[in-house]
Amino acid sequence: MHKTSSRLLALLSLLQVHRDWSGEDLAGRLDITSRTVRRDIDRLRELGYPITTVKGPAGGYRLEAGTHLPPLLFDDDQAVALAVALRTAAAGTTVAEDASRALATLRQVMPHRLRHRVDLLRITAVQPPAAGDTRQVGAQVLMDLSRVIDAREELRFDYAPSSGTSADDPRRVQPHHLVTWRQRWYLVAWDLHRDDWRTFRVERIRPRTPTGPRFAPRQLPGGNVSTFITSRFRGNGGTTIDWPCQGEVVLGLPAADVAPFAEDGVVEELGPRHCRLVLGSWSWTGLAAAIGRFDTDIEVIGPPQLAAAFRDLAARYTHAARATSPETGPAS
């Protein structure tokens, strides 16, 4: 039987799987009695973990979201993956400073074997020449814009002048989308003063409070944000390639994590953990392979050729995995 401290950690690790656990299942997993499970649950609650009791024939427990971030447990692979994501974000994204601080905190508590693996990773972010004047976007501004977009509330903001221009009057818009294009963040919105669609550089936006009334969303020209953005920048200082194969997917990653690796694509924020990516390539197989490098779940929106390319690659990779045995090497 585990000692109390290690048993509490094991119990917490199980509860972090984001599912309901019956008391009997937890007792069986930890090789303890149901009474001990109840006592350990109470100890975790005293430490600040919001564990609720699930009603039902057998009863159970669930770890809920709380009002503050409690200590978390990660297995080795999760810890390394988190460190890699933070180091990537710290190498030139809009949340670089926060990512660096988070990485330092994580590294400090890592066991030596994991710290060594993370320290071997070296990432250098190379920004395209056109983005050399890009100022960093604060995480708070992204959160503020995401909130009003989700709430469908009108937004008032000051818009910092570009070089050589005078300051604009405060803007009043209906915000629709946050997107990245060629290493820059943009807000796509309906400008209520100009009665037209506009794109605003996010690093120049200073939101005002309070926000305005709620509004009914309008239909974007072109039908989707990718068509709208590419049409706006084509021939207007933004180099656009008319790829013969272009597809749309939803990735289980934040937009800020995808944007640095999708320079020629359009990344649209869908939430804190999801984004839409529209990307092009010279072939459907090449496009599927390029999207597959993102280590996350992928939902293909379209077209059917892209889904077929993923199926072909999956079959090819499966065959390659079966043809090579770790013990014997490649099959003869």
Domain 245-323 CATH class label: alpha beta
Gap between the Cα atoms of 217 and 220, Å rounded: 9
Gap between the Cα atoms of 286 and 310, Å rounded: 10
| Mean pLDDT calculated for residue range 49-59 | 76
Residue with tokens 């656009």: 240
Higher pLDDT, residue 241 or 305: 305
Phi, psi dihedral angles at 95 (to 5 degrees): -115, 35
Contact, 201 vs 184, CB < 8 A?
yes
Mean pLDDT for all residues in the chain: 77
Indicate the pairing of strand 60-63 with strand 205-207: unpaired
Gap between the Cα atoms of 134 and 175, Å rounded: 22
Contact, 48 vs 12, CB < 8 A?
no
Higher pLDDT, residue 188 or 2: 188
At 91, is the pLDDT very low, low, confident or very high (cuts 50, 70, 90)? low
pLDDT at 24: 85
Q: What percent of the chain has pLDDT over 70?
A: 74
| Mean pLDDT calculated for residue range 97-106 | 73
For domain 4-63, give the fold. Arc Repressor Mutant, subunit A (1.10.10)
| pTM reported for the whole predicted model | 0.45
Q: What is the CA radius of gyration of the chain?
A: 24
Tens digit of pLDDT for each residue in 108-158? 767 777 777 777 665 555 555 544 455 567 778 888 888 899 899 999 999
Tens digit of pLDDT for each residue in 263-290? 668 888 888 888 999 888 777 888 898 8
User: Which residues, at least 6 apart from 155, have a Cβ–Cβ distance to it below 8 Å?
Assistant: 145, 148, 172, 173, 174, 175, 189, 207, 208, 211, 212
> Which sequence spans correspond to the domains of the chain?
4-63, 76-126, 138-220, 245-323
Same fold, 4-63 and 245-323: no
Tens digit of pLDDT for each residue in 161-183? 765 445 567 889 999 988 887 76
Per the document, the length of the chain is 332
